[in-house]
Amino acid sequence: MLTKRFFKTKNEAEITFEFSHPEASKVELVAEFNDWQPITMKFIKKDKRFRLKHRLPTEKKFHFRYLIDGKQWDNDHNADGYAANGFGSENSIVDTQRLA
């Protein structure tokens, strides 16, 4: 799940990435905005979800995926869109365009 918060005085948005996987002990966000380097997401016990907040420039689209326990890939099922990647699957897309 993606939650977006836009700032009036900055050309950036705070994106909250949330992902739930019942058997996962570790989930990492892997995205083009950080050169595809995994970022470990924090597990929130009360919500039973992994969460990470990251600021991104507005008016752009970014590809990302979740890496579960270092071996299984998954997409955000509430992403803004999906695009084919070079590995025979799809990436999730987050769109930071401000809505009117």
41 or 47, higher pLDDT: 41
In sequence order, the 6+-apart residues with CB closer than 8 A to the CB of 91 are 63, 64, 65, 75, 82, 83, 84, 85
Which pLDDT does position 100 carry in this prediction? 58
Q: Which two tokens stand for residue 50?
A: 């992994």
- DSSP letter assigned to residue 23: T
Number of domains in the chain: 1
Q: CA of 71: how far to CAs of 10, 26, 66, 74, 98, in Å? A: 37, 10, 10, 10, 34
pLDDT in tens, 1-29: 899 999 988 999 999 999 999 889 999 99
Which pLDDT does position 8 carry in this prediction? 87
Task: State how far Cα 45 lies from the chain centre.
Answer: 19
Q: Which two tokens stand for residue 55?
A: 């600021």
In sequence order, the 6+-apart residues with CB closer than 8 A to the CB of 45 are none
| Structural domain range at position 28 | 2-96
Q: Tell me: pLDDT of 32 over 80.
A: yes
Which pLDDT does position 94 carry in this prediction? 97
Task: Report, as an integer, the average pLDDT of 43-65.
Answer: 95
pLDDT in tens, 55-100: 999 999 999 999 999 999 999 999 999 999 999 999 999 999 987 5
Task: Report, as an integer, the average pLDDT of 36-52.
Answer: 95
Q: Which two tokens stand for residue 64?
A: 């990302």
Which pLDDT does position 88 carry in this prediction? 92
What's 8's domain CATH number? 2.60.40.10
